[in-house]
Structure 1
Amino acid sequence: MLRRSTLATALCTALAAALLSGATGAQATSTPTRVAAPDIDVSAVKGHLSSLQSIADRNGGNRAHGQPGYRASVEYVKGKLDAAGFTTSLQEFNYNGSTGYNLIADWPAGGSDQVVMAGAHLDSVRRGAGINDNGSGSAGILEVALAVAKADLKPTKHLRFAWWGAEEYGMVGSTHYVNALGSGELSKIDSYLNFDMIGSPNPGYFVYDDDPEVERVFKDWYAAKGIATERETEGDGRSDHAPFKDRGVPVGGLFSGAETTKSPQQAAKWGGTPGAPFDPCYHSACDTTRNVDDTALDNNSDAIAHALWELSS
């Protein structure tokens, strides 16, 4: 039997421990759990590519700025987003005597003062349907956006998606968007992620190295999958991240290679054909749905989802 003083001490100690345990439990309950990104169904991404191919086939073989195939591509993407609950808007601009369009889609959740933005150019060159360049990036972020809606994601930060016009003329649409933003709105963009060619048929895995935090999110994901990456240098300044970077916005993104050739060292770690272009149909009529590597498209679409879930939480 414990002496009375010892018993009182024990009871006080037990009560204090119980109170501490309750407080700790309440604190743990109130701390939100980070939700992992879903696996993106590559067949759904390919379904969007097939739709973009059909649009090109019905409209002179391309989806270029100023051509009916581009406006039809915008309407296709916009229809999917509207049905999923996004707030969409078309931003018009003029270039080379034709009206161009940027499509902006905001997910109605998350804070308003910090924005994580993903973008891809939706236009092709006049010579072809532009399925890898850049139907692949456009379809990838579209399916990720639809996954956001399906998950009814409640991010801490605001999520915004963009499909740019007239990139093939020198980032015209994205430059127009950035220039039209006031400094206050521009400062709210925490990061802009760009996806231009993510399904090249002889693919590499290139990660933009412009911002260490964003780069780490992508590189860690690929490393966990056992996929080697390289810093993206070929497309630096050639795509829609450039106007954001020039205005001080942290940028990042993915790229699977264009017209330059894959080295033997790159083929050893990624497979594919050394001495051949990453995309032999770059800016050509053969850039069709047959010009896409399913594995690269799948991996890169999943990486986009991971990065957006991670950076917006």
Structure 2
Amino acid sequence: MKKNLEAAGFTTSLQEFEFGGKKSWNLIADWPRGGRTGKVLMVGAHLDSVETSPGINDNGSSVAAILETALTVSAKNVTPAQHLRFGFWGTEEETYIGSTHYVNTLPAAELSKITAYLNFDMIGSPNPGYFVYDQSPEVARHFDRYFTTKGIPTEPATALNGRSDHEPFLAKGVAVGGIFTGSAEIKTPEQAAKWGGTAGEAMDKCYHQACDTPANIDRRALDVNSDAVAAMVWKLGVRG
């Protein structure tokens, strides 16, 4: 992935850190064009999975979506209003260690440039819900508007546990946003009525299990949510 991003024109760096006696890495990719205002839109997803799972929905789904968005930025050779930065995090499953390391080691002057951090974690659950992070309403409204155009109602992600790599950014006062299709939460009859799927079953029955393979992906959810990733990068970063 690092080579793919570099071949597409991104400037990449590996940030090494240690947790539990083991080394891990964050991969950071910066688009070198645009961003002359000194403002940064950052987009991220975690690379790791638990040892018991291949991690295709959690979190290959989101990594694929933001990688494809980054490659589209390159293919269109955009000059964005804000600087675009993509973060691929290590060791999220141990309570977002990689993203916390990044935030805690970023100089305050650089952190202050980040206008928003958009996090994507599990966006193709097989019995999906459509949840929007609502900790920063000014960011959430853009996601809600996108889903409204698709005829898909949303619910706030804070109704769930939903903790992920946006938390360290939020703790430092950065506006955050993102989407989530659910994990072990049971879909209610009301949710099934508005989203489809099966009430009384988990939104991802293979959450943290060996069956989180490519067969565990709802392709419509992945398609809609991947488009949402790109739409928000263009709305908030490219057009600014």
Identify the TM-score tier after normalising by the shorter chain: over 0.9
Structure 1 residues 255-266: aligned runs within 5 Å: 255-266=180-191
Q: Which amino acid aligns with 1:288?
A: T
How far residue 223 of structure 1 moved from its aligned partner, in angstroms, is 0.3
Between the two proteins, the alignment pairs up a number of residues equal to: 236
Q: 2:174 aligns with which of 240, 243, 249?
A: 249
SS of aligned partner of 1:191 = strand
Q: Which amino acid aligns with 1:107?
A: W
Report the Cα distance in structure 1 between the residues aligned to 2:2 and 2:182, rounded to whole angstroms. Answer: 28
Change (3 A) 1:235 1:119: farther
TM-score (ref. length: structure 2): 0.97
Of Structure 1 and Structure 2, which has the larger fraction of its residues in helix? 1
Q: 1:286 aligns with which of 190, 211, 216?
A: 211
The question of 1:83 aligning with 2:19 is answered no
Q: Which amino acid aligns with 2:152?
A: I
Structure 1 residues 58-77: aligned runs within 5 Å: 77=1
Could you report, residue by residue, the CA deviation over 1:148-174 in whole angstroms, capped at 9, with x for unpaired residues?
Answer: 111111111000001000000110000
Higher relative contact order (CA 8 A, sep 6+): 2
Could you report, residue by residue, the CA deviation over 1:246-275 in whole angstroms, capped at 9, with x for unpaired residues?
Answer: 000000000000001000000001000000
Q: 2:202 aligns with which of 249, 255, 277?
A: 277
The question of 1:228 aligning with 2:153 is answered yes
Could you report, residue by residue, the CA deviation over 1:32-89 in whole angstroms, capped at 9, with x for unpaired residues?
Answer: xxxxxxxxxxxxxxxxxxxxxxxxxxxxxxxxxxxxxxxxxxxxx2122111111111
The question of 1:174 aligning with 2:99 is answered yes
Q: 2:113 aligns with which of 188, 191, 204?
A: 188
In structure 2, the partner of 1:295 is 220
Q: Who wins on radius of gyration, i.e. which is larger?
A: 1
Report the Cα distance in structure 1 between the residues aligned to 2:4 and 2:24, rounded to whole angstroms. Answer: 20
Structure 1 residue runs without a partner (length 5+): 1-76
Report the Cα distance in structure 2 between the residues aligned to 1:82 and 1:290, rounded to whole angstroms. Answer: 30
In structure 1, the partner of 2:230 is 305
Q: Which amino acid aligns with 1:259?
A: A
Report the Cα distance in structure 2 between the residues aligned to 1:82 and 1:166, rounded to whole angstroms. Answer: 23
TM-score (ref. length: structure 1): 0.74
How far residue 110 of structure 1 moved from its aligned partner, in angstroms, is 1.6
SS of aligned partner of 1:305 = helix
Report the Cα distance in structure 2 between the residues aligned to 1:118 and 1:109, rounded to whole angstroms. Answer: 16
In structure 2, the partner of 1:95 is 19
Report the Cα distance in structure 2 between the residues aligned to 1:295 and 1:247, rounded to whole angstroms. Answer: 35
Report the Cα distance in structure 1 between the residues aligned to 2:207 and 2:226, rounded to whole angstroms. Answer: 20
SS of aligned partner of 1:167 = coil
SS of aligned partner of 1:287 = coil
Report the Cα distance in structure 2 between the residues aligned to 1:261 and 1:83, rounded to whole angstroms. Answer: 42
The question of 1:133 aligning with 2:58 is answered yes
SS of aligned partner of 2:119 = strand
Report the Cα distance in structure 1 between the residues aligned to 2:142 and 2:71, rounded to whole angstroms. Answer: 21
RMSD: 0.8
Report the Cα distance in structure 1 between the residues aligned to 2:161 and 2:28, rounded to whole angstroms. Answer: 23
In structure 1, the partner of 2:70 is 145
How far residue 213 of structure 1 moved from its aligned partner, in angstroms, is 2.0
Change (3 A) 1:150 1:235: farther
Report the Cα distance in structure 2 between the residues aligned to 1:154 and 1:79, rounded to whole angstroms. Answer: 22
Report the Cα distance in structure 1 between the residues aligned to 2:51 and 2:26, rounded to whole angstroms. Answer: 18
Report the Cα distance in structure 1 between the residues aligned to 2:161 and 2:223, rounded to whole angstroms. Answer: 21
Structure 2 residue runs without a partner (length 5+): none
Report the Cα distance in structure 2 between the residues aligned to 1:146 and 1:259, rounded to whole angstroms. Answer: 32
Of Structure 1 and Structure 2, which has the larger fraction of its residues in strand? 2
SS of aligned partner of 1:101 = strand
Q: Which amino acid aligns with 1:162?
A: G
Report the Cα distance in structure 1 between the residues aligned to 2:126 and 2:161, rounded to whole angstroms. Answer: 17
